[in-house]
Chain A
Amino acid sequence: MALITADHLKLGYDSQIVASDLSFTVEEGDYLCIIGENGSGKTTLMKALLGLHKPLEGSLEFAEDMDQNEIGYLPQQTVIQSDFPASVREIVLSGCQGHWRNRFFYSAEDRATAKRYIEQVGITDLADKYYSDLSGGQKQRVLLARALCAAVKVLLLDEPIAGLDPSASENMYRVIKELNGAGMTIIMISHDLTSALKDANKVLHIGETNYFGTVSEYLKVRTEDLGGAK
Protein backbone atom coordinates (compact mmCIF):
# COMPACT_ATOMS: atom_id res chain seq x y z
CA MET A 1 0.00 0.00 0.00
CA ALA A 2 1.16 3.53 -0.76
CA LEU A 3 2.59 5.60 2.07
CA ILE A 4 0.30 8.55 1.34
CA THR A 5 -2.83 8.51 -0.82
CA ALA A 6 -4.58 11.77 -1.62
CA ASP A 7 -7.91 11.55 -3.36
CA HIS A 8 -9.61 14.63 -4.83
CA LEU A 9 -8.31 16.92 -2.12
CA LYS A 10 -9.69 20.42 -1.91
CA LEU A 11 -7.67 22.87 0.17
CA GLY A 12 -8.53 26.35 1.33
CA TYR A 13 -9.04 28.83 4.11
CA ASP A 14 -12.58 29.62 5.27
CA SER A 15 -14.50 30.08 2.05
CA GLN A 16 -11.49 30.78 -0.17
CA ILE A 17 -10.49 27.72 -2.16
CA VAL A 18 -6.77 27.50 -2.81
CA ALA A 19 -6.38 24.23 -4.71
CA SER A 20 -8.83 21.56 -5.69
CA ASP A 21 -8.96 18.12 -7.22
CA LEU A 22 -5.54 17.02 -6.04
CA SER A 23 -4.97 13.30 -6.38
CA PHE A 24 -1.62 11.63 -5.96
CA THR A 25 0.16 8.80 -4.20
CA VAL A 26 3.53 8.67 -2.51
CA GLU A 27 5.27 5.31 -2.20
CA GLU A 28 7.98 4.44 0.25
CA GLY A 29 11.33 5.69 -1.07
CA ASP A 30 9.78 8.19 -3.50
CA TYR A 31 11.27 11.58 -4.20
CA LEU A 32 8.29 13.78 -4.95
CA CYS A 33 8.77 17.30 -6.17
CA ILE A 34 5.85 19.72 -5.76
CA ILE A 35 5.89 22.70 -8.10
CA GLY A 36 3.55 25.55 -8.94
CA GLU A 37 3.26 29.30 -8.97
CA ASN A 38 3.33 31.49 -5.87
CA GLY A 39 0.05 31.17 -4.03
CA SER A 40 -0.97 27.95 -5.78
CA GLY A 41 -1.28 26.13 -2.46
CA LYS A 42 1.94 24.12 -2.15
CA THR A 43 2.65 25.12 1.43
CA THR A 44 -0.99 24.56 2.32
CA LEU A 45 -0.80 21.04 0.89
CA MET A 46 2.32 20.31 2.91
CA LYS A 47 0.60 21.51 6.07
CA ALA A 48 -2.32 19.23 5.25
CA LEU A 49 0.10 16.31 4.92
CA LEU A 50 1.45 17.16 8.38
CA GLY A 51 -1.99 17.39 9.93
CA LEU A 52 -1.59 21.12 10.59
CA HIS A 53 -4.32 22.05 8.13
CA LYS A 54 -7.66 20.37 7.54
CA PRO A 55 -8.62 19.70 3.91
CA LEU A 56 -12.01 21.09 2.89
CA GLU A 57 -12.93 18.00 0.91
CA GLY A 58 -11.45 14.75 -0.31
CA SER A 59 -9.52 12.16 1.57
CA LEU A 60 -5.95 11.90 2.72
CA GLU A 61 -4.87 8.44 3.79
CA PHE A 62 -1.65 7.32 5.37
CA ALA A 63 -0.17 3.85 5.51
CA GLU A 64 -0.49 2.29 8.91
CA ASP A 65 3.23 2.20 9.50
CA MET A 66 3.64 5.88 8.74
CA ASP A 67 3.94 7.56 12.09
CA GLN A 68 3.98 11.32 12.59
CA ASN A 69 6.91 10.78 14.94
CA GLU A 70 9.07 9.78 12.00
CA ILE A 71 8.52 12.85 9.84
CA GLY A 72 11.01 15.65 9.44
CA TYR A 73 9.83 19.07 8.29
CA LEU A 74 11.54 22.20 7.06
CA PRO A 75 9.00 25.04 7.02
CA GLN A 76 9.08 27.71 4.33
CA GLN A 77 9.09 30.40 6.95
CA THR A 78 9.90 30.19 10.60
CA VAL A 79 9.34 33.34 12.55
CA ILE A 80 11.31 33.25 15.78
CA GLN A 81 11.39 36.24 18.10
CA SER A 82 14.65 38.05 17.64
CA ASP A 83 15.54 37.87 21.34
CA PHE A 84 14.81 34.15 21.80
CA PRO A 85 17.76 32.63 23.65
CA ALA A 86 18.69 29.42 21.85
CA SER A 87 21.96 27.91 20.70
CA VAL A 88 22.30 26.14 17.36
CA ARG A 89 22.93 22.86 19.14
CA GLU A 90 19.79 23.18 21.27
CA ILE A 91 17.70 23.80 18.16
CA VAL A 92 19.12 20.94 16.09
CA LEU A 93 18.79 18.53 19.03
CA SER A 94 15.14 19.44 19.49
CA GLY A 95 14.42 17.68 16.19
CA CYS A 96 15.26 14.37 17.88
CA GLN A 97 12.33 14.77 20.28
CA GLY A 98 9.97 13.57 17.52
CA HIS A 99 10.80 9.94 18.15
CA TRP A 100 10.87 10.08 21.92
CA ARG A 101 8.50 7.71 23.59
CA ASN A 102 8.17 8.21 27.32
CA ARG A 103 11.59 9.74 27.31
CA PHE A 104 12.47 13.22 28.50
CA PHE A 105 16.19 13.69 27.99
CA TYR A 106 18.54 13.43 25.03
CA SER A 107 20.39 10.15 24.66
CA ALA A 108 23.97 9.76 23.48
CA GLU A 109 22.49 8.53 20.21
CA ASP A 110 20.47 11.73 19.80
CA ARG A 111 23.59 13.79 20.33
CA ALA A 112 25.48 11.74 17.77
CA THR A 113 22.66 12.18 15.23
CA ALA A 114 22.62 15.92 15.78
CA LYS A 115 26.39 16.10 15.43
CA ARG A 116 26.31 14.10 12.21
CA TYR A 117 23.70 16.32 10.56
CA ILE A 118 25.38 19.50 11.78
CA GLU A 119 28.44 18.30 9.90
CA GLN A 120 26.48 17.24 6.83
CA VAL A 121 24.82 20.59 6.30
CA GLY A 122 28.15 22.31 6.92
CA ILE A 123 27.44 24.31 10.06
CA THR A 124 30.01 22.74 12.39
CA ASP A 125 31.60 26.13 12.98
CA LEU A 126 28.22 27.56 13.98
CA ALA A 127 27.28 24.82 16.46
CA ASP A 128 28.06 26.93 19.53
CA LYS A 129 26.65 30.15 18.13
CA TYR A 130 23.24 31.62 18.91
CA TYR A 131 20.36 31.48 16.49
CA SER A 132 19.57 35.19 16.63
CA ASP A 133 23.14 36.02 15.53
CA LEU A 134 22.95 34.01 12.30
CA SER A 135 22.29 35.17 8.74
CA GLY A 136 19.16 34.06 6.87
CA GLY A 137 20.93 31.30 4.96
CA GLN A 138 22.69 30.06 8.09
CA LYS A 139 19.37 29.89 9.93
CA GLN A 140 17.90 27.91 7.04
CA ARG A 141 20.72 25.36 7.35
CA VAL A 142 20.21 25.06 11.10
CA LEU A 143 16.53 24.33 10.54
CA LEU A 144 17.41 21.81 7.84
CA ALA A 145 19.68 19.99 10.29
CA ARG A 146 16.79 19.99 12.78
CA ALA A 147 14.44 18.57 10.14
CA LEU A 148 16.97 15.84 9.31
CA CYS A 149 17.18 14.87 13.00
CA ALA A 150 13.41 14.43 13.07
CA ALA A 151 13.20 12.49 9.80
CA VAL A 152 13.33 8.76 10.14
CA LYS A 153 11.11 7.72 7.23
CA VAL A 154 9.77 10.86 5.58
CA LEU A 155 11.26 14.30 5.00
CA LEU A 156 9.09 17.25 3.95
CA LEU A 157 10.94 20.28 2.66
CA ASP A 158 9.28 23.58 1.80
CA GLU A 159 11.62 25.45 -0.54
CA PRO A 160 14.77 24.22 1.18
CA ILE A 161 17.21 26.15 -0.98
CA ALA A 162 15.51 29.54 -0.71
CA GLY A 163 18.16 31.93 0.55
CA LEU A 164 21.09 29.54 0.16
CA ASP A 165 24.21 30.32 -1.83
CA PRO A 166 25.04 28.07 -4.83
CA SER A 167 27.48 25.82 -3.00
CA ALA A 168 25.16 25.44 -0.01
CA SER A 169 22.21 24.54 -2.24
CA GLU A 170 24.30 22.04 -4.17
CA ASN A 171 25.31 20.53 -0.84
CA MET A 172 21.66 20.50 0.26
CA TYR A 173 20.63 18.60 -2.89
CA ARG A 174 23.44 16.13 -2.35
CA VAL A 175 22.46 15.46 1.27
CA ILE A 176 18.82 14.99 0.29
CA LYS A 177 19.76 12.66 -2.56
CA GLU A 178 21.92 10.55 -0.27
CA LEU A 179 19.11 10.22 2.25
CA ASN A 180 16.72 9.26 -0.53
CA GLY A 181 19.24 6.67 -1.71
CA ALA A 182 19.24 5.25 1.82
CA GLY A 183 15.48 4.74 1.61
CA MET A 184 14.03 7.95 3.01
CA THR A 185 10.89 9.29 1.32
CA ILE A 186 11.33 12.90 0.25
CA ILE A 187 8.60 15.43 -0.50
CA MET A 188 10.02 18.73 -1.63
CA ILE A 189 8.54 22.02 -2.78
CA SER A 190 10.81 23.91 -5.13
CA HIS A 191 10.89 26.65 -7.73
CA ASP A 192 14.28 25.53 -8.98
CA LEU A 193 13.02 23.05 -11.59
CA THR A 194 16.23 22.05 -13.30
CA SER A 195 18.07 20.95 -10.15
CA ALA A 196 15.03 19.66 -8.31
CA LEU A 197 13.75 17.46 -11.14
CA LYS A 198 17.19 15.96 -11.71
CA ASP A 199 16.97 13.84 -8.55
CA ALA A 200 13.20 13.49 -8.16
CA ASN A 201 11.20 10.57 -9.54
CA LYS A 202 7.70 12.06 -9.28
CA VAL A 203 6.21 15.47 -9.87
CA LEU A 204 3.07 17.13 -8.60
CA HIS A 205 2.29 20.34 -10.41
CA ILE A 206 -0.39 22.45 -8.77
CA GLY A 207 -2.10 25.08 -10.89
CA GLU A 208 -5.20 25.65 -12.96
CA THR A 209 -4.72 22.13 -14.21
CA ASN A 210 -2.95 19.81 -11.84
CA TYR A 211 -0.45 17.26 -13.03
CA PHE A 212 0.85 14.22 -11.23
CA GLY A 213 3.22 11.65 -12.67
CA THR A 214 6.81 10.64 -13.15
CA VAL A 215 9.47 13.18 -13.95
CA SER A 216 10.22 11.80 -17.42
CA GLU A 217 6.54 11.92 -18.41
CA TYR A 218 6.21 15.42 -17.01
CA LEU A 219 9.15 16.69 -19.03
CA LYS A 220 7.65 15.12 -22.16
CA VAL A 221 4.23 16.65 -21.55
CA ARG A 222 5.78 19.98 -20.86
CA THR A 223 7.75 20.13 -24.07
CA GLU A 224 4.74 18.96 -26.07
CA ASP A 225 2.33 21.38 -24.46
CA LEU A 226 4.15 24.43 -23.25
CA GLY A 227 0.95 25.95 -21.88
CA GLY A 228 0.34 23.09 -19.48
CA ALA A 229 3.04 24.04 -17.04
CA LYS A 230 3.39 27.75 -17.28
Chain B
Amino acid sequence: MSRARLLFLQALVAVVAIAIWHIGTSVPLFGVKLLPPFFFSTPYDVAARVVKWFVEGSIWKHLWITLIEAMLAFVIGSLGGVTIGFWFARKPLVAAVFDPYVKMINALPRVVLAPIFALWLGLGIWSKVALGVTLVFFIVFFNVYQGIKEVSPTILSNARMLGMNERQLMRHVYWPSALSWMFSSLHTSVGFAVVGAVVGEYLGSAAGLGYVIQQAEGVFDVAGVFAGMFVLAAFVIVIDTLVTAVEKRLLVWRPLAAETRT
Protein backbone atom coordinates (compact mmCIF):
# COMPACT_ATOMS: atom_id res chain seq x y z
CA MET B 1 0.00 0.00 0.00
CA SER B 2 1.33 3.41 -0.86
CA ARG B 3 2.15 5.85 1.88
CA ALA B 4 -0.38 8.44 0.70
CA ARG B 5 -3.17 5.88 0.65
CA LEU B 6 -2.29 4.71 4.14
CA LEU B 7 -2.29 8.29 5.45
CA PHE B 8 -5.63 8.88 3.77
CA LEU B 9 -7.19 5.83 5.40
CA GLN B 10 -5.73 6.74 8.78
CA ALA B 11 -7.20 10.24 8.48
CA LEU B 12 -10.50 8.71 7.40
CA VAL B 13 -10.75 6.80 10.69
CA ALA B 14 -10.35 10.04 12.65
CA VAL B 15 -12.88 11.88 10.48
CA VAL B 16 -15.48 9.12 10.86
CA ALA B 17 -14.96 8.88 14.62
CA ILE B 18 -15.28 12.66 15.06
CA ALA B 19 -18.32 12.72 12.77
CA ILE B 20 -20.08 10.05 14.86
CA TRP B 21 -19.17 11.98 17.99
CA HIS B 22 -20.47 15.21 16.47
CA ILE B 23 -23.74 13.72 15.24
CA GLY B 24 -24.32 11.83 18.49
CA THR B 25 -23.88 14.96 20.57
CA SER B 26 -25.77 17.43 18.36
CA VAL B 27 -28.47 15.64 16.35
CA PRO B 28 -31.40 14.36 18.46
CA LEU B 29 -32.72 10.92 17.51
CA PHE B 30 -36.41 10.48 18.56
CA GLY B 31 -36.04 13.48 20.82
CA VAL B 32 -32.91 12.29 22.69
CA LYS B 33 -29.28 12.84 21.92
CA LEU B 34 -27.44 9.53 21.86
CA LEU B 35 -24.36 11.14 23.41
CA PRO B 36 -25.48 13.82 25.86
CA PRO B 37 -22.99 16.71 25.71
CA PHE B 38 -22.85 16.85 29.50
CA PHE B 39 -21.13 13.45 29.53
CA PHE B 40 -19.43 13.52 26.14
CA SER B 41 -18.88 17.22 25.46
CA THR B 42 -18.69 18.07 21.74
CA PRO B 43 -15.83 18.01 19.25
CA TYR B 44 -16.12 21.74 18.88
CA ASP B 45 -15.92 22.48 22.61
CA VAL B 46 -12.96 20.16 23.05
CA ALA B 47 -11.11 21.67 20.09
CA ALA B 48 -11.85 25.16 21.36
CA ARG B 49 -10.47 24.24 24.76
CA VAL B 50 -7.26 22.80 23.30
CA VAL B 51 -6.76 25.91 21.18
CA LYS B 52 -7.41 28.14 24.17
CA TRP B 53 -4.81 26.33 26.26
CA PHE B 54 -2.18 26.72 23.61
CA VAL B 55 -3.11 30.32 22.78
CA GLU B 56 -3.08 31.34 26.42
CA GLY B 57 0.06 29.26 26.90
CA SER B 58 -1.08 27.70 30.16
CA ILE B 59 -0.58 24.14 28.88
CA TRP B 60 3.17 24.48 28.15
CA LYS B 61 4.12 24.40 31.79
CA HIS B 62 2.17 21.18 32.35
CA LEU B 63 3.59 19.53 29.23
CA TRP B 64 7.07 20.50 30.33
CA ILE B 65 6.60 19.04 33.82
CA THR B 66 5.23 15.76 32.44
CA LEU B 67 8.05 15.57 29.91
CA ILE B 68 10.70 16.12 32.60
CA GLU B 69 9.17 13.51 34.87
CA ALA B 70 8.87 10.95 32.07
CA MET B 71 12.43 11.54 30.91
CA LEU B 72 13.87 11.25 34.39
CA ALA B 73 11.85 8.08 34.99
CA PHE B 74 13.07 6.63 31.71
CA VAL B 75 16.74 7.44 32.27
CA ILE B 76 16.86 6.32 35.90
CA GLY B 77 14.76 3.21 35.27
CA SER B 78 16.87 2.24 32.26
CA LEU B 79 20.18 2.71 34.07
CA GLY B 80 18.91 0.61 36.96
CA GLY B 81 17.48 -2.04 34.66
CA VAL B 82 20.67 -2.35 32.63
CA THR B 83 22.89 -2.54 35.71
CA ILE B 84 20.81 -5.08 37.60
CA GLY B 85 20.00 -7.01 34.42
CA PHE B 86 23.70 -7.40 33.64
CA TRP B 87 24.50 -8.32 37.20
CA PHE B 88 21.81 -10.99 37.45
CA ALA B 89 22.59 -12.46 34.04
CA ARG B 90 26.29 -12.83 34.82
CA LYS B 91 25.73 -14.11 38.38
CA PRO B 92 23.18 -16.92 38.24
CA LEU B 93 23.31 -17.37 42.03
CA VAL B 94 22.28 -13.76 42.63
CA ALA B 95 19.51 -14.14 40.07
CA ALA B 96 18.25 -17.33 41.70
CA VAL B 97 18.24 -15.78 45.18
CA PHE B 98 16.37 -12.65 44.16
CA ASP B 99 14.07 -14.31 41.63
CA PRO B 100 10.95 -14.63 43.86
CA TYR B 101 11.32 -11.05 45.13
CA VAL B 102 11.68 -9.63 41.65
CA LYS B 103 8.52 -11.45 40.62
CA MET B 104 6.69 -10.28 43.74
CA ILE B 105 7.54 -6.62 43.26
CA ASN B 106 6.82 -6.75 39.57
CA ALA B 107 3.40 -8.27 40.18
CA LEU B 108 2.46 -5.40 42.50
CA PRO B 109 0.05 -2.91 40.88
CA ARG B 110 2.06 0.31 40.84
CA VAL B 111 -0.94 2.50 41.66
CA VAL B 112 -0.81 1.32 45.27
CA LEU B 113 2.73 2.66 45.47
CA ALA B 114 1.75 6.19 44.43
CA PRO B 115 0.58 7.36 47.86
CA ILE B 116 3.69 5.89 49.48
CA PHE B 117 5.95 7.71 47.06
CA ALA B 118 3.95 10.90 47.68
CA LEU B 119 4.51 10.38 51.40
CA TRP B 120 8.23 9.74 51.02
CA LEU B 121 9.07 12.17 48.26
CA GLY B 122 6.39 14.84 48.56
CA LEU B 123 4.00 16.10 45.91
CA GLY B 124 6.72 17.45 43.59
CA ILE B 125 8.10 15.72 40.54
CA TRP B 126 10.15 13.07 42.36
CA SER B 127 7.19 10.99 43.53
CA LYS B 128 6.05 10.79 39.87
CA VAL B 129 9.54 9.95 38.69
CA ALA B 130 9.69 7.17 41.28
CA LEU B 131 6.42 5.71 40.02
CA GLY B 132 7.68 5.80 36.42
CA VAL B 133 10.97 4.22 37.49
CA THR B 134 9.20 1.21 39.01
CA LEU B 135 7.51 0.64 35.64
CA VAL B 136 10.47 1.30 33.33
CA PHE B 137 12.99 -0.57 35.47
CA PHE B 138 11.29 -3.94 35.13
CA ILE B 139 10.81 -3.72 31.38
CA VAL B 140 14.45 -2.81 30.81
CA PHE B 141 15.66 -5.28 33.43
CA PHE B 142 13.81 -8.26 31.92
CA ASN B 143 14.92 -7.36 28.41
CA VAL B 144 18.57 -6.87 29.29
CA TYR B 145 18.56 -10.10 31.29
CA GLN B 146 17.00 -11.97 28.40
CA GLY B 147 19.31 -10.33 25.89
CA ILE B 148 22.35 -11.66 27.74
CA LYS B 149 20.88 -15.09 28.38
CA GLU B 150 19.81 -15.55 24.78
CA VAL B 151 23.11 -14.84 23.07
CA SER B 152 23.54 -17.62 20.56
CA PRO B 153 25.92 -20.27 21.95
CA THR B 154 27.61 -20.45 18.56
CA ILE B 155 28.34 -16.72 18.59
CA LEU B 156 29.72 -17.07 22.12
CA SER B 157 31.92 -20.00 21.12
CA ASN B 158 33.08 -18.07 18.09
CA ALA B 159 33.96 -15.07 20.26
CA ARG B 160 35.95 -17.26 22.63
CA MET B 161 37.73 -19.07 19.80
CA LEU B 162 38.67 -15.67 18.37
CA GLY B 163 40.39 -15.08 21.69
CA MET B 164 38.06 -12.70 23.53
CA ASN B 165 38.55 -12.38 27.26
CA GLU B 166 35.71 -11.73 29.69
CA ARG B 167 35.92 -7.96 29.26
CA GLN B 168 35.91 -8.17 25.48
CA LEU B 169 32.99 -10.61 25.56
CA MET B 170 31.12 -8.04 27.58
CA ARG B 171 31.85 -5.25 25.16
CA HIS B 172 31.51 -7.05 21.83
CA VAL B 173 28.88 -9.68 22.57
CA TYR B 174 26.79 -9.28 25.74
CA TRP B 175 26.46 -5.51 25.64
CA PRO B 176 25.25 -5.22 22.01
CA SER B 177 22.89 -8.14 22.49
CA ALA B 178 21.43 -6.69 25.68
CA LEU B 179 21.09 -3.25 24.08
CA SER B 180 19.27 -4.67 21.09
CA TRP B 181 16.72 -6.28 23.38
CA MET B 182 16.42 -3.10 25.37
CA PHE B 183 15.93 -0.99 22.26
CA SER B 184 13.33 -3.35 20.91
CA SER B 185 11.28 -2.58 24.03
CA LEU B 186 11.97 1.14 23.79
CA HIS B 187 8.39 1.98 22.80
CA THR B 188 7.01 0.12 25.76
CA SER B 189 9.40 1.56 28.30
CA VAL B 190 9.06 5.15 27.08
CA GLY B 191 5.28 4.69 27.07
CA PHE B 192 5.36 3.44 30.65
CA ALA B 193 7.55 6.35 31.73
CA VAL B 194 4.77 8.68 30.53
CA VAL B 195 2.09 6.53 32.16
CA GLY B 196 3.95 6.65 35.48
CA ALA B 197 4.26 10.41 35.32
CA VAL B 198 0.62 11.04 34.38
CA VAL B 199 -0.84 8.57 36.88
CA GLY B 200 1.33 10.06 39.60
CA GLU B 201 0.15 13.56 38.75
CA TYR B 202 -3.42 12.40 38.61
CA LEU B 203 -3.20 10.97 42.12
CA GLY B 204 -1.75 14.08 43.69
CA SER B 205 0.23 16.98 42.36
CA ALA B 206 0.11 20.64 41.44
CA ALA B 207 1.22 20.47 37.81
CA GLY B 208 1.41 18.23 34.76
CA LEU B 209 -1.05 16.74 32.28
CA GLY B 210 -2.40 14.29 34.85
CA TYR B 211 -3.09 17.23 37.14
CA VAL B 212 -4.94 19.11 34.36
CA ILE B 213 -7.20 16.11 33.69
CA GLN B 214 -7.79 15.52 37.38
CA GLN B 215 -8.71 19.19 37.93
CA ALA B 216 -11.22 19.13 35.08
CA GLU B 217 -12.78 15.93 36.40
CA GLY B 218 -13.14 17.48 39.82
CA VAL B 219 -15.59 20.06 38.44
CA PHE B 220 -17.33 17.76 35.89
CA ASP B 221 -15.68 19.71 33.12
CA VAL B 222 -15.89 16.96 30.47
CA ALA B 223 -14.53 19.20 27.69
CA GLY B 224 -11.47 19.80 29.87
CA VAL B 225 -11.00 16.06 30.50
CA PHE B 226 -11.26 15.23 26.82
CA ALA B 227 -9.00 18.11 25.84
CA GLY B 228 -6.45 16.87 28.38
CA MET B 229 -6.64 13.38 26.93
CA PHE B 230 -6.12 14.69 23.41
CA VAL B 231 -3.10 16.71 24.40
CA LEU B 232 -1.72 13.66 26.19
CA ALA B 233 -2.34 11.47 23.12
CA ALA B 234 -0.63 13.98 20.83
CA PHE B 235 2.27 14.22 23.29
CA VAL B 236 2.66 10.42 23.28
CA ILE B 237 2.54 10.26 19.47
CA VAL B 238 5.29 12.86 19.18
CA ILE B 239 7.48 10.98 21.65
CA ASP B 240 6.79 7.68 19.89
CA THR B 241 7.83 9.17 16.56
CA LEU B 242 11.09 10.31 18.13
CA VAL B 243 11.63 6.84 19.58
CA THR B 244 11.06 5.27 16.16
CA ALA B 245 13.66 7.58 14.65
CA VAL B 246 16.18 6.72 17.39
CA GLU B 247 15.42 3.03 17.01
CA LYS B 248 16.07 3.14 13.27
CA ARG B 249 19.49 4.60 13.91
CA LEU B 250 20.43 2.18 16.67
CA LEU B 251 19.19 -1.06 15.19
CA VAL B 252 20.42 -0.72 11.60
CA TRP B 253 22.02 -4.13 11.87
CA ARG B 254 18.74 -5.92 12.39
CA PRO B 255 16.81 -7.36 9.47
CA LEU B 256 13.56 -5.50 8.91
CA ALA B 257 10.37 -7.51 8.92
CA ALA B 258 9.77 -6.42 5.33
CA GLU B 259 13.15 -7.71 4.18
CA THR B 260 12.85 -11.12 5.74
CA ARG B 261 9.46 -11.61 4.16
CA THR B 262 10.79 -11.50 0.59
Q: Do A and B bind each other?
A: no
